[in-house]
Structure 1
């Protein structure tokens, strides 16, 4: 299935100034090798994968509509990398099961349960805040009566993702720089897969933490280390041909 080689890079407006205004600038560093910000990582090889981008940076008005990513998911894509703002119930501009902004809940919203129809599942890595808060807690440790959106993407619908890596608490960027703490882990995760041939999602995620261990006292690296979790309802390895596809073996 050709969809196994389809990758989507998703970037939103961040507002961190300069090169850090748009998430797409960080997502570009995940394609092929990158020497940005003083270290080298191996990214997704553009000569082996069909890589599409969905960036606020490049969209008219700098704000792509959520209908765009819903359409792409439903048509079938296998890997999504994302950088944008989020909360317990919001990621990639999708809301589930409620719409919440700045801590206020504005009622039910079911972008995932009602709108996703894909039967070709995807893997998603997102740097967004709180989208993987599997303990239902807010940043202030308030307990919500709803599961987080990562759980809806992976376990509470027949469609969506087979696995997700998301933050249980805050994701962290950097002012006027692409060298944000969360982005360092994202880069090292893909380097684990494509540079070190670590072909299990959990092990690759752990390797990204190991490779950033020397930064443990820098910025928010210690927080990122415990916040970045794998959300999935299945146990599986990558195939031995991971560089050709991220195919899931059940």
Structure 2
């Protein structure tokens, strides 16, 4: 009905800094990533993390984040379109962190301390997550947890969680990018709701609005060879227009 414009005229990123110290943190981490040794193994590291999502598909039909992350990792031809994933590129080493997965024994309910440890490990250039969220909660951590990160090799963080990028309040995106000299150099997070399964698709589908955007985001990098974050993000919106 014309209320959403998915075509970009310019690419805009935000440094959500409230003072000189926070802006300095943002610049410090941006330059730290830009100047990282291209041979550093951490630049190959990717963490795909998924939580137990609850009754997403109806009564007694549980949803697990692993299924969504597998479409990003392996690529997918689901729901009538093709996107390329991390497995197409030998550059990356993908690690998994999944919660309550019912099709593989040994995977359990990981918590905030586990994510803080992973983010602080200097092992990942990309951290991608699906789970529930709020303005001060995402990646299964809260604002206070983000302040405890200790990494000095910085990562890009992306999630489908609801509202951790709600910049008009003191949100998790700010804690990760500007509050300290640890955490993320950049994030792509929802400022409002993340959208899951669409009711007009079968229960077996994971093709909610946010998953569509995520699939197209990484397809822009792996299949269309776009390397600028702003351009990748814009392309992920534009490539979803045919699905509306």
> What is the CA distance between 1:62 and its match in structure 2?
3.9
Give 2:117's match in structure 1, choosing from 52, 63, 71.
71
Relative CO higher for 1 or 2, CA cutoff 8 Å, sep ≥ 6?
2
Whichever structure has more strand as a proportion of its residues is 1
Give 2:135's match in structure 1, choosing from 88, 93, 100.
88
> What is the CA distance between 1:61 and its match in structure 2?
7.3
1:31 corresponding residue in structure 2:
73
Between the aligned partners of 1:189 and 1:61, the Cα distance in structure 2 is 27
Give 1:183's match in structure 2, choosing from 201, 206, 211.
211
Alignment check: 8 A CA contact 1:19 1:25 kept: no
Give 2:220's match in structure 1, choosing from 188, 192, 199.
192
The CA RMSD over aligned residues, in Å, is 1.8
> What is the CA distance between 1:23 and its match in structure 2?
1.1
Give 1:48's match in structure 2, choosing from 69, 84, 91.
91
Give the direction of change, closer, same or farther, for the CA distance of 1:87–1:199 in structure 2 (3 Å limit): same
1:8 corresponding residue in structure 2:
47
Alignment check: 8 A CA contact 1:192 1:204 kept: yes
Count of residues in correspondence between the two structures: 192
1:165 corresponding residue in structure 2:
188
> What is the CA distance between 1:120 and its match in structure 2?
0.4
Between the aligned partners of 1:43 and 1:164, the Cα distance in structure 2 is 19
2:174 corresponding residue in structure 1:
151
Give the direction of change, closer, same or farther, for the CA distance of 1:88–1:36 in structure 2 (3 Å limit): same
Between the aligned partners of 1:65 and 1:59, the Cα distance in structure 2 is 18
CA deviations on 1:35-66 (whole Å, 9 max, x unpaired) are 12221001113633110000002585741122
Alignment check: 8 A CA contact 1:20 1:178 kept: no
Between the aligned partners of 1:133 and 1:184, the Cα distance in structure 2 is 21
Deviation larger for 28-37 or 11-20: 11-20
CA deviations on 1:165-194 (whole Å, 9 max, x unpaired) are 000100010163211110000000000011
Between the aligned partners of 2:222 and 2:107, the Cα distance in structure 1 is 35
Between the aligned partners of 2:47 and 2:106, the Cα distance in structure 1 is 19
- Uncovered stretches (5+) of structure 2, i.e. residues with no partner: 1-39
Between the aligned partners of 2:85 and 2:179, the Cα distance in structure 1 is 31
- TM-score of the two chains, using structure 1 as the length reference: 0.73
